[in-house]
Amino acid sequence: MDPSVSFATHSDLEDRWHKLLPEEQAQADILLEDASE
């Protein structure tokens, strides 16, 4: 898998959990990228 592509996006997380604030979206993107490595 391409390491620059996350398994999921913050939008995927929001679909399954709740609407994220902008700062939560940024943090979620970082964590999802880390988890995809």
Q: What is the pLDDT of residue 19?
A: 97
Task: Please say whether the beta carbons of 8 and 31 come within 8 A.
Answer: no
**pLDDT tens digit string along 21-31?**
999 999 999 99
Q: What is the pLDDT of residues 1-37, one digit of tens each?
A: 566 678 899 999 999 999 999 999 999 999 999 998 8
Per-residue pLDDT at 2: 63
How many Å apart are CA 14 and CA 12, to the nearest integer? Answer: 5
- Tell me the residue range of the domain where 15 lies: 1-37
Please give the pLDDT value at position 36.
Answer: 87
Distance CA 17, CA 32 (A): 14
For residue 31, how many C-alpha atoms fall within 13 Å in the half-sphere facing its CB?
A: 8
pLDDT value for 5: 77
d(CA 21, CA 35): 21
Q: What is the pLDDT of residue 34?
A: 92
Domain count for the chain:
1
